[in-house]
Structure 1
Amino acid sequence: MPIRRHRPTISEFVDEFQESVIPSAIPTSEFIDWERIERELEAYRVQIDALESLRDVSEAEFVSGLADALMDADDTREWIDFYFELLGHSDTKYAAFEGLWKFYPIQLDIDKGQRDVAEDLAGVLRDIGLQQLVDVTDDIDAHFRGMKVGMETHKRKNRQGFCFENLVYERLENLAEQLRSEGVHVEVIEQYTTKYQDESGQSKVVDFALLQNGETRIVFEANCYKAGGSKPSEIKRSYDRVSTRMREDGVEFVWITDGQAWAKSLTNVLREGYKDIVDVYNMEMVDSYLTDDVRSFFENGAAVSEDEVDVEPQQSLDSY
C-alpha cells in the first residue's frame, strides 16, 4: 500500500506534477566538467609532449616516432587510448573498411616486443589523421580541450542522473536527520540490494533505501528525463512490477522523477505511473509532501490503497 496521503485525482496530479517539473538536474556551473578535463589533460602530458616532437616530420618519421613511443611506453594501452581519443574515437577497438584493430591484443603484442604491430597501428593512426592534426594544430592542449568539450554532450546524459541522485540523496538525508531528531531510528543506504521474499531467489538493487531499526521500510528509485522516448515508459512498467513485488514483501516503493520530458510528451506515462504506483514524486513534491508522508507511514502505517487514487481528494487526508 502506498505512503502518499495527498491523493488528487489523476488529472489533478498530472497538472500539479507538470506545473512544477525542473528542466534539468544539472546546474549551469556543471554544464562542462572543466576539472575533469584538466585532470585528463595533465594525465596525458607525456603523450602530448611526445606528439609535439613529431611536428612537421615526414610520414615515415611520424610512423617510426609513434612506434618508438608505443614500444617504450610503461602503459601501452594508455598511449593507444590517448591517440585515438585525440581523434574523437573512444572505444576498445577501431574498425574501418580496411580492417579491424582490437586494442587489447595489439597491446599484448607490443608489450611482447612486436615492433611490426606497433608500426602497423602507427600507420593506421597516421592514415586517419593524427599526423595532420599534429601539423595543423598550433596547440595540442587546446585541441584536446575542444575535443573534450564536444564530447560533453554524451557525458551530460550520465551527469544528469548523477546530479539528480545527489539532489534526492540530500533530501533523504535531511528527512532521516529530522526523523532521528524525533526519536525514529532510521538510516539512508545508497545502491541498496534487497531480496524478494519469494521462491525466485531474485533481488533488486535500488538507488536508495530507508531502513528503520535495520529493517528495510521504503525503497526509492530516482530518474530525471530531459527528453522523451521509450525509456521512461519502459522504466515505468518495470517500476510497476517492482512496486507490486516490494509491497507484497511489506516494503514501500517510491519513484522520484523529474525533468522537462515530463512536461507534455510523457503525459500518458505519468498518468499510468501515478495510477499504478501512486507514490510518484517530483522534487517539488518531495519538498512539500515526502517528509510528512514518511513520518505518517512510520506512525500510522501505509495510506489508502491504490484503488482509491482516482477519487477526489479526501479532506481528512489533506493536511498539507
Structure 2
Amino acid sequence: MKLNDYLELSSEERLKEFLSSLSVTNRTPEYYVNWEKVNRETKQFELELNTLNYLISKDSIYNEALSLFTKQPDLLRAIPSLIASRDKILDILSIDEQDNMSFERLNFSKIDTNKIKEYVDFTEKSGLLNFLQNNANRSLVDYVYGVEAGLDSNARKNRSGTTMEGILERHIDKIANELELEWKAQATAPFIKEKWNIIVPVDKSERRFDVVVYSKKKHKVWLIETNYYGGGGSKLKAVAGEFTELSQFVITSNDNVEFVWVTDGQGWKTAHLPLSEAFNHITNVFNLCMLKEDFLSELFQK
C-alpha cells in the first residue's frame, strides 16, 4: 500500500490496516545486553575485584575480610556489584532472635572507616563471604561481568523505546540525505524556533520531540514521536490520549507544522478503543511495516 492510499482511508479503515501490519518485535540483537554499559560498570572496580580474589577459599574468611578491609577500606566499594545492587548506599533492616528490629545505613561510595566491622558483618549476613569461601573459584572480575549482564536485563523494558528511536533516526537520516532535508533528534520548541524560525506550541515547556524534520524548500517541520508496546496495560490508553492531545496542540501553530506518530507492537491490539480515538484525530500514525514501505519518504515529498 502507498501512503496516499492509506491516508484516503477512513480512520477505522486506517486503524484496521495499522493493526493488521503490526510487527511481532522490535528487538534487534543489541537489545538483549548493553555490553558497553556492562564493561563500564565492571571496569570501574576491576582493581578492587582483583584484590578481593585474595579472599576466595580462605578458611577463616571473616577474620581475613576484617583484616583486609581494615587495611584497604576502599575495597568495600566493590561490594554492591558483588551482590547485584545498583545502590551504593544501603538501608538495612536487622531482626534478632527476639524479633527486635533495627535499621542501619551503610555507604559503599564513601566508606566510613569507623564502621569496618559493620561492613564485614553485612557481607557475612548477605551470604557473600560464604560464596567467596565455598563457591567462588575463579576471577571475581569475570563473576561481576555476569552479574552486570544480568542487571542490564532489567533495563530491557526501557531499551524498547530507545530501540525505536534508533530505528527511526537511522531511517530519517537516510531519507534526509536523499531529499536534502534537515533533522534533529530530541529537539525542543526553542531549538526549532532558533534553528528554523518555526513556532511550535507545546503542552510542556520541557517537551522534546523524538525527531524533528525540516524542509527548507517548504519551510515546514514534521514533529515525530515514537514508541513500542509489546504488551498491553493501562499505559497504552494514557499514551494514546497524550499524543492525541499533543497533535491537536501543535497544529495550532500559524507556521507549517505536521505531527507524526510512529508506533508499533502487539500490545496495541489490546487497546483498540483509545487507539481508535487517536486515529480520529491523528492522520499520520505509522508502524514499522509502513516505514519499510517508504511512508515517511512519501510524506516529506507531499
| TM-score of the superposed pair, with normalisation by structure 1 | 0.75
Range with greater deviation from structure 2 (55-64 or 193-202):
193-202
Whether 1:277 aligns to 2:278 is: no
Determine if the alignment matches structure 1 residue 236 to structure 2 residue 240.
Answer: yes
Q: CA deviation at 1:162?
A: 1.9
Q: Alignment length, in residue pairs?
A: 275
Counterpart of 1:154, as a letter, is: N
Look up the match of 1:132.
130
CA distance in 2 between partners of 1:91 and 1:216 (Å): 46
Task: State the distance in 2 between where 1:237 and 1:174 align.
Answer: 31
Pick the aligned partner of 1:85 from 81, 86, 105: 81
Are 1:254 and 2:222 matched, yes or no? no
Structural mapping, 1:8-157, within 5 Å: 8-28=9-29, 30-55=31-56, 56=58, 57-71=60-74, 80=77, 82-98=78-94, 99-101=103-105, 103=107, 107-108=109-110, 110=111, 114-135=112-133, 136-139=135-138, 140-157=140-157
> So what's the TM-score if we normalise by structure 2?
0.79
Aligned to 2:270: 265
Considering Cα pairs closer than 8 Å and 6+ residues apart, tell me whether 1 or 2 has the greater RCO.
Answer: 1
Instruction: Judge conservation of contact 1:84–1:125 (CA < 8 Å) in 2.
Output: no
Structural RMSD (CA): 2.8
Change (3 A) 1:20 1:100: farther
Q: What SS is found at the alignment partner of 2:33?
A: coil
Contact 2:38 2:152 in 1 (8 A): no
Corresponding residue SS for 2:223:
strand
Query: Could you tell me how far apart the structure 2 residues matched to 1:21 and 1:200 are?
Result: 29
Q: CA deviation at 1:100?
A: 4.0
Distance in 1 between the 2:207 and 2:43 partners? 40
Q: Would you say the 8 A contact 1:193–1:206 is kept in 2?
A: yes
Amino acid at match of 1:257: T
The one-letter code of the counterpart of 1:64 is S
Which residue of the partner structure matches residue 296 of structure 2? 290
User: Comparing 214-223 with 48-57, which one deviates more in the overlay?
Assistant: 214-223
Q: Is 1:188 equivalent to 2:189 in the alignment?
A: no
Partner letter of residue 233 of structure 2?
G
User: How much has 1:281 moved relative to structure 2?
Assistant: 0.7
Q: Structure 1 residues 66, 265: closer, same or farther in 2, change over 3 A?
A: farther
CA 1:233–1:278: 2 relative to 1, 3 Å:
same
Query: Secondary structure in 2 aligned to 1:254?
Result: strand
Does structure 2 retain, via aligned residues, the 8 Å contact 1:84–1:90? yes
Alpha-carbon separation, structure 2, partners of 1:10 and 1:167? 26
Task: Return the alpha-carbon distance in structure 1 between the equivalents of residues 239 and 245 of structure 2.
Answer: 10
User: Which amino acid is 1:18 matched to?
Assistant: L
8 A contact 2:260–2:284 mirrored in 1: yes
Structure-1 separation of matches of 2:243 and 2:251:
12
1:163 paired with 2:163, answer: yes
Residue 171 of structure 1 aligns with an amino acid whose one-letter code is H
3-state SS of 1:53 partner: helix
Corresponding residue for residue 210 of structure 1: 213
Inter-CA distance 230–193: structure 2 relative to 1 (3 Å threshold): same
Rounded to whole Å, the distance in 2 between the matches of 1:51 and 1:32 is 26
Change (3 A) 1:67 1:160: farther
2:201·2:252 contact (CA, 8 Å) conserved in 1? no
Q: What stretches of structure 2 of length at least 5 have no aligned partner?
A: 95-102, 191-198
Report the Cα offset of residue 19 of structure 1.
2.3
**Counterpart position of 1:312:** none
Instruction: Decide whether the 8 Å contact of 2:7 with 2:283 is kept in 1.
Output: no
More divergent stretch after superposition (21-30 vs 83-92): 21-30
- Closer/same/farther in 2, CA of residues 210 and 116 from structure 1, 3 Å limit: same
Aligned with 2:167: secondary structure? Answer: helix
Which sits farther off after the overlay, 137-146 or 231-240? 137-146
Change (3 A) 1:63 1:261: farther
Q: CA deviation at 1:278?
A: 2.3
Kindly state the Cα deviation for residue 257 of structure 1 after the two structures are TM-superposed. 0.7
Distance 1:148 1:233, change over 3 A: same
The DSSP-based 3-state class of the residue aligned with 2:7 is coil
Report the Cα distance in structure 2 between the residues aligned to 1:172 and 1:147, rounded to whole angstroms.
36
